[in-house]
Structure 1
Amino acid sequence: MHNLPNLITRRRLLWAVPVVIVAAAGLGAAAMMQPPPADLDLSLMKSTDHGHYVASVEPGLSPIVTGTIHGWIVEIKTPDGKPVEHAEISISGGMPQHGHGLPTEPKVTAELGRGRYQVEGMKFNMPGWWTVNVAVKGPAGPDTATFNLIL
């Protein structure tokens, strides 16, 4: 008889665990259904986070459609407008509200001159708010710019 309280506690825990899981899933789904912030900066040219460079992106599709792999042009300049040649550029990104990254791993495939770089392998697999991060390692040091897209 002295084990009865432990048995009742265990049964309550067995019922509580699924309830907590379902509640957490519901909160996650509600977060994904929220619209993106109203003041989202959708510009395709901006200063990098530390001001070392000015980065711009030119998607290869207009409008950008989901499910299609395509290329972009990334342009990197100094704050006074001079092209940044021979920089290392990497691309990442994802959906902030969904917590996942890009479905592909975009890569720079060519330096086109005048601070322009060809990026291949861009793909967005669903509509919504996406971020694209452009990381630059150049003569002024490493820096990053984040671009927002609504598809």
Structure 2
Amino acid sequence: MRFPHAAVLLSCALLGSAPGCSDHPSDEDVDCQKDTRADDIVDGMEKMGERQVVSFRLVSASPSPPRRPDNTWIMALQSAGAPLVGATVSTTLFMPDHNHGTQIKPVITATSEPGTYKFEPLNLWMPGLWEITFEATPAGGSKDRAVFRVCVPD
């Protein structure tokens, strides 16, 4: 019977064209100097959240600039000019060009400095553009988020 064989071939063709990561050589050719989508990641940089509730300031990044595989970021969060203490904080790492993230979840720890949190490891395991999204919900408040775009070189 030829039908099962044709169905298998069609399935393979469809799966082969699905979006996501591949081992195509162009995946390895990352030129961060030419990628204008990435932020200039430097200690002290700050982004206001999308809802204008929380400010997210990078206190330090190690290594700096970010590179493969694991990174540690310390972030200072403020709301209405005051350190954001007791907030629910999370982060997500995502590669928009490959439609995936990382399986390693960062551990988030409040530091001794009010409103300051340590995120580690930020597992940027693959070269290319990464979106690191930080979310914070103040106690009794609205969730806010900011996206830091990082280009990780080969």
Q: TM-score, structure 1 length as denominator?
A: 0.72
> CA contact under 8 A between 2:91 and 2:133: conserved in structure 1?
yes
For residues 12-48 of structure 1, the C-alpha deviation after alignment (integer angstroms, 9 at most, x for no partner) is 76665544444x1599758x85979955251542111
One-letter amino acid matched to 1:53 = V
Letter in 1 for 2:123: K
Deviates more, 1:92-101 or 1:59-68: 59-68
**Match of 1:105, as an amino acid?**
K
Q: Partner residue of 1:75? A: 76
Q: Could you say what secondary structure the match of 2:82 adopts?
A: coil
SS of structure 1 residue aligned to 2:112 = strand
Structure 1: unaligned runs, 5 residues or longer: 1-6
1:114 to partner: Cα distance = 3.3
* Counterpart code for 1:42: D
Structure 2, unaligned stretches of length 5 or more? none
CA–CA distance in structure 2, aligned partners of residues 14 and 41 of structure 1: 41
2:67 aligned partner: 65
Native 8 Å contact 2:19 2:99 kept in 1: no
Q: Which residue is equivalent to 1:3?
A: none
Corresponding residue of 2:116: 116
Cα drift, residue 82 of structure 1: 2.2
Using the aligned pairs only, state the percent identity.
20
Indicate the larger mover: 10-19 or 134-143.
Answer: 10-19
Contact kept, 8 Å, 1:49 with 1:144, in 2: the verdict is yes
Partner residue of 1:48? 49
Alpha carbons of 1:122 and 1:20: their partners in 2 closer, same or farther (altered >3 Å)? Answer: closer
Q: Which runs of 4+ in 1 moved over 3 A?
A: 7-22, 25-30, 32-39
CA contact (8 A) 1:110 1:119 kept: no
Is the contact made by 1:136 and 1:142 (CA closer than 8 Å) also made in structure 2? Answer: yes
RMSD: 3.2
Aligned counterpart, 1:93: 93
Give the Cα–Cα distance (whole angstroms) in 2 for the partners of residues 123 and 15 of structure 1. 36
Question: More deviation in 103-112 or 129-138?
Answer: 103-112
Amino acid in the other structure paired with 2:74: I
Partner letter of residue 137 of structure 1? T
**Which structure ranks higher in relative contact order (CA pairs < 8 Å, sequence separation ≥ 6)?**
2
How many aligned positions are there?
Answer: 141
